[in-house]
């Protein structure tokens, strides 16, 4: 009997977008396309219980969406803040793919916590 694989639940949290330096919707749309293609994660609303990962999408380095109460809603958290991902500088053009790769690492880590996936989590997320 094969066991149905449970998809990783990814929620998006935006900073509020008062003066974004990057196109946040473009990143979100990219993730929607990837989710439709790869089937190993699904996008859920922020209010969903048992969310596995929250991607906090902030338009600039001030990262207004990166708050403890937001991070506490999921086991894993990825923070885009302007042209950066989890504190590492990444150009806007490369951010969607970098976020996808980070998400893949999280999914692997979630499925095989001791399997050697090299995962550096955002401070305070686990």
Partner 1 sequence: MGMMTGKDYRESLKTLRPEVYYMGEKIENVVDHPAFVPHVNAAALTYDMAAAPEFEELTTATSHLTGEKINRFTHIHHSHDDLVKKVKMLRAIGQQTGSCFQRCVGHDGLNTIYSVTYDIDQKKGTDYHQRFTKFLREVQSRDLMISGAMTDPKGDRSLPPGKQKDPDTYVHIVKRQGKGIVINGAKVHITGAVNSHGHLVMPTSSLTAEEADYAVCCYVPVDAPGVVHIFGRQTNDTRKCDCLLDQGNIDYGSVGGEALVVFDNVFVPWEHVFMAGEYEFAYSLVERFATAHRQNYGGCKTGLADALVGAIYLLTEAQGTAGASHIREKLVEMVHLAETLYCCSIACSCQGYALPSGSHMADPLLANVTKLNVTRNVYEIARLAHDVAGGILATMPSEADWKDKKVGKYVDKYMKAAAGVPAETRMRLIRLIEAMTCGTALVESMHGAGSPQAQRIMIWRQANLEHKKRLALKLAKIGDTKENKN
Pick out residues in 5-64 that bind partner 1 (CB under 8 A).
12-19, 24-25, 28, 46, 57, 64
Report helix, strand or coil for 104.
Answer: helix
Kindly tell me the burial class for residue 89, based on how many C-beta atoms sit within 10 Å of its own C-beta (0-12, 13-18, 19 or more): exposed
Question: How far apart are CB 12 and partner 1 at their closest, in Å?
Answer: 7
Question: How far apart are CB 34 and partner 1 at their closest, in Å?
Answer: 18
Q: How far is 45 from 9, CA to CA, in rounded Å?
A: 9
* Half-sphere exposure for 61 (CA within 13 Å, toward CB): 7
Contact mark string toward partner 1, 62..101, x via CB under 8 A: --xx------------------------------------
Q: Which residues bind partner 1 (CB under 8 A)?
A: 12-19, 24-25, 28, 46, 57, 64-65
């Amino acid at each position: 009997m094969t066991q149905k694989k449970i998809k990783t639940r990814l929620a998006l949290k935006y900073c509020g977008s008062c003066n974004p330096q990057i196109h946040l919707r473009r990143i979100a749309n990219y993730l929607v396309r990837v989710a439709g293609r790869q089937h190993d994660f699904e996008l859920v609303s922020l209010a969903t219980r048992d969310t596995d990962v929250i991607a906090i999408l902030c338009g600039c380095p001030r990262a207004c969406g990166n708050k403890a109460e937001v991070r506490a809603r999921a086991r894993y958290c990825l923070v885009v803040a302007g042209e950066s991902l989890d504190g590492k500088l990444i150009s806007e053009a490369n951010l969607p793919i970098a976020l996808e790769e980070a998400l893949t690492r999280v999914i692997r880590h979630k499925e095989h916590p001791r399997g050697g996936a090299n995962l550096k989590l955002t401070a305070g997320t686990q």
